[in-house]
Amino acid sequence: MKQAELLKKLLPGFIPLFVFIIADEFWGMKVGLIVALLIGLGEMGFTWYREKRLDRFVLLDTALLVALSGVSILLENEIFFKLKPALIELILCLILGFSTFSSVDIVGAMTRKYMKGIEMNEVQEALFKRNLRNLFYIVIVHTALVFYSAFYMSKEAWAFISGGLFYILFAIYFGFEFIKNKRIAKNSIPESPVSSFENEEWLPVVEEDGKIIGKAPRSLCHKGDKILHPVVHLHVFNPQGHIYLQKRPMEKLVQPGKWDTAVGGHISFGEDLETALRREAFEEIGLENFSAKPLGRYRWDSDIESELVYYFTTYDFQKIRLHSDEVVEGRFWSPSQIEKQMGQGIFTPNFEYEYRLLKKGQIR
């Protein structure tokens, strides 16, 4: 819903452009410019009267329209005007790009300013970010089409691409999202503010200091939306300093067939660290009644998820018993064997990173 509200806020800024396109078609560029200018001034006056604020987006749109149209009229070259929608969209691309791929959240700042009272939890923030990323790709493709049509296509084709096609692309995207969310909602928990699955495992959503700020279904945490959730890892050593690794099944979605940390798994919502660690140790390698030493935590980001990893070590290896389909094979590796195979695609990237932490800490 927040994306629709944001779009509703931004669309008035494009009205002067579309008014110009229609007026220019019937009465020419100069009349179209005057009509569009009056519309832009009228919008700004109405916003000031109703909300006591200057709509800067409408002001920017109208100012660029006047500037580029003026240059076009003076130079008798309409290409300057035709490029105007693309220039505006380039600014929009920059805003969406910064908000999506950097820590400079311009759109977030805008929404907090103009839509006070609308709060989002961590899951909604992640979904919002995903939609911003998709909108960035849509806008950048549309901008390229506007540039192309300005130079190589007819005026009528340019008018459609720079005007109507913009709305059509957005309508298709939001229509697709609406239908998808409707299907997901059939399996959702009624009291949840976001789409979720009734029979799915829920994971805590955390900040980097480990503070729990919400919860999310497992599937959303694994969709690349960077919802930070906690996991536990356990490294099992023998007296010689060799480390026990498990081999992941080939059916695994992530890093199939590679050697990985002896124990690794999610912490369920409402579960504490120790309980999760002992549950995962038994489920994956059959280990029970062991003592573990906590070493710390770190953030691990992959293509599909963001994890806050709590890692431990233990020397209680005698009762290891593989009894799960989640593990194909398990054995001890010496430090020299591991270091010879590092970077060869034998181990998971997460294990290699964590092994360096262990080595740096002189852990045996």
Q: pLDDT digits over 226-259, tens only?
A: 889 999 999 999 999 999 999 988 887 778 899 9
Residue 364 C-beta-side C-alpha neighbours within 13 Å: 4
> Between these two residues, 318 and 77, which has the higher pLDDT value?
318
Euclidean distance between CA atoms 22 and 209, whole angstroms: 55
Q: What is d(CA 64, CA 305) in angstroms, rounded to the nearest whole number?
A: 41
Q: pLDDT tens across 180-199, in order?
A: 666 644 434 344 444 445 67
**Residues 58/16, Cβ–Cβ less than 8 Å:** yes
Amino acid type, 348: T
Beta-strand ranges (E) seen in 280-342 are: 293-301, 306-314, 329-333
Dist. CA 179–CA 110, nearest whole Å: 27
Which residues are bridge partners to 266 per DSSP?
231
CATH 3.90.79.10 residue ranges of the chain are 203-360
Task: Tell me how far apart the alpha carbons of residues 150 and 145 are, in angstroms, rounded to a whole number.
Answer: 8
* Res. 360 pLDDT band, cuts 50 70 90: confident
Q: Which CATH superfamily is domain 203-360 in?
A: Nucleoside Triphosphate Pyrophosphohydrolase (3.90.79.10)
| Amino acid 135: pLDDT | 86
Q: Nearest-CA neighbor of 276 among 244, 248, 307, 243? A: 307
Lowest mean pLDDT across 65-74, 151-160, 240-249:
65-74
Query: Which residue in this structure is represented by tokens 């790709």?
Result: 137
